[in-house]
């Protein structure tokens, strides 16, 4: 039984590059986690270089998904109700490595902030 479980684990979770990125998007949308926890988890699990690369891929995927939804609902609302749609502005120049984007001074404070969130 353990061998069968290991095969399924390897099939769905074994290769990070093949994983469905929606699992990370779900974590980002969780009010307790946000993007910083996803980034910290990826860096912790896969190292600084690969984790940062994966975090950037997740960020780009999330923005792409958001743009698709925005375009889908913007075109629908414009065709049915002229002038009632509210424009949505997204900061596409968001840099994962920029600590100030998270409101945190310096990368060393990541863990302090994470511990504070976990204790709350």
Q: For 44-102, what is each residue's pLDDT tens digit? A: 988 899 999 999 999 999 999 999 989 988 866 555 555 555 555 555 554 555 544 44
The encoded tokens of residue 87 equal 């424009």
Is the pLDDT confidence value at 2 over 80?
yes
pLDDT interval class at 20 (50, 70, 90): confident
User: What is residue 104's predicted lDDT score, i.e. its pLDDT?
Assistant: 43
Residue 42 burial by Cβ neighbours in a 10 Å radius (0-12, 13-18, 19+) = buried
Residues above pLDDT 70, as percent of the chain = 62
DSSP string of 46-98, one letter each residue: H-HHHHHHHHHHHHHHHHHHHHHHHHHHHHHHHHHSTT-PPP----TT--TT-
Q: Give dist(CA 67, CA 15) in Å, integer.
A: 27
């Amino acid at each position: 039984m353990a061998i069968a479980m290991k095969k399924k684990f390897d099939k769905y979770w074994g290769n990070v590059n093949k994983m469905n990125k929606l699992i990370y998007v779900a974590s980002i949308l969780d009010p307790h986690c946000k993007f910083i926890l996803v980034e910290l988890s990826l860096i912790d699990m896969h190292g600084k270089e690969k984790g940062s690369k994966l975090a950037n891929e997740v960020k780009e995927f999330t923005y792409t998904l958001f743009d698709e939804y925005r375009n889908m609902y913007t075109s629908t609302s414009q065709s049915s109700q002229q002038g009632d749609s509210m424009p949505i502005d997204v900061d596409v120049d968001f840099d994962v490595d920029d600590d100030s984007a998270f409101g945190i001074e310096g990368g060393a404070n990541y863990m302090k902030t994470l511990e504070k969130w976990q204790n709350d």
